[in-house]
Structure 1
Amino acid sequence: MNMTIGAGWRTLLGFDYGTRRVGVAAGQTVTSSASPLTVLNNPASVDFWQQLDKLVAEWRPDGFIVGMPLHADGSVGRIAQAAAAFAGELTARYGLQVISVDERLTSWEADQLARDLPAARRDAVAASLILMTYLEGRSA
């Protein structure tokens, strides 16, 4: 599931998946940078996918990075299964490669970095941290 993105990839969208909200970030492989974009509500709704379609059209990503919320022991729980299903839907819908990244502790880190932001906005910060985890790992 963890793979490397090809050298041709430049723009990526990263996701912090949750059953109520999905944080979205944008990043660049050339600069190895990521920034929080937005938070989309209710990933089970048609409106969610319409909003995501607009982001994909605007950013024209070369691939997606999805945080995998594993348990502390590395096991897969209900949310991680839902995140994996979301990753599969991204591939089916947009025909782009999706890479899963272990996101343990990114929500905690986002809370520490963005204490003054509303809780929902922290999901976008968490998405940027997930994307940075991928970007930093590919240069190591």
Structure 2
Amino acid sequence: MARILGVDYGDSRIGLAISDQTKSIAFPFRTIKNDGLEVLIEFLGKVRFEKKIESVVVGLPLGLDGRDTNQTKKVRNFSEEIKILGLPIYLQDERLSSVSAKKSLIKENLKTGHNKEKIDERAASIVLQHYLDINK
């Protein structure tokens, strides 16, 4: 069975999460450095085949008022560019996902100042889990 990849896109780092095969639970996968679109597409292509990914959910960072921000525009452009992977791409509201991720790490007594990678992949899993819950 195929899985779904969750993406928390950022200018410096990109958090990734993967669903289980039943598409019920999202798990943090990893965080990668944003070294440009070409490198990213190559990496995502490898993940696609290694993890049997069937679609991608990208967190959409809307402003608290629901409007697009500068980062929203970057994410929309990124989502268009990764269509080259040949997978369906879905956008999921990610408002406050990074805040939730940081709080969950604090509850686990993990320092958040030096764990930005953990925050990014946890944020990706929160966004993906939200998508999975809505689309059951």
Quick one: which amino acid aligns to residue 134 of structure 1? Y
CA distance in 2, matches of 1:18, 1:43: 11
Shift of the alpha carbon at 1:43? 4.7
Aligned length: 130
CA contact (8 A) 2:41 2:85 kept: no
Please say if 1:111 is aligned against 2:108: no
Normalising to structure 2: TM-score of the pair? 0.87
Shift of the alpha carbon at 1:28? 3.5
Shift of the alpha carbon at 1:74? 0.4
Give every structure 1 segment of 4 or more consecutive aligned residues whose post-TM-superposition deviation is greater than 6 Å. Answer: none
| Structure 2: runs of 5+ lacking an equivalent | none
CA distance in 2, matches of 1:31, 1:59: 13
CA contact (8 A) 2:4 2:56 kept: yes
Normalising to structure 1: TM-score of the pair? 0.85
CA distance in 2, matches of 1:130, 1:72: 16
The 5 Å alignment of 1:71-90 reads 71-90=63-82
Quick one: which amino acid aligns to residue 48 of structure 2? V
| Structure 1: runs of 5+ lacking an equivalent | 1-8
CA distance in 2, matches of 1:64, 1:138: 14
State percent identity of aligned pairs: 29
| 1:86 to 1:43, Cα distance in 2 relative to 1, 3 A | farther
- Three-state SS of the structure 1 residue aligned to 2:62 is coil
Please say if 1:125 is aligned against 2:125: no
Q: Please give the root-mean-square deviation of Cα atoms over the aligned residues, in Å.
A: 1.7
CA distance in 2, matches of 1:56, 1:108: 28
- Three-state SS of the structure 2 residue aligned to 1:76 is coil
Shift of the alpha carbon at 1:55? 1.4
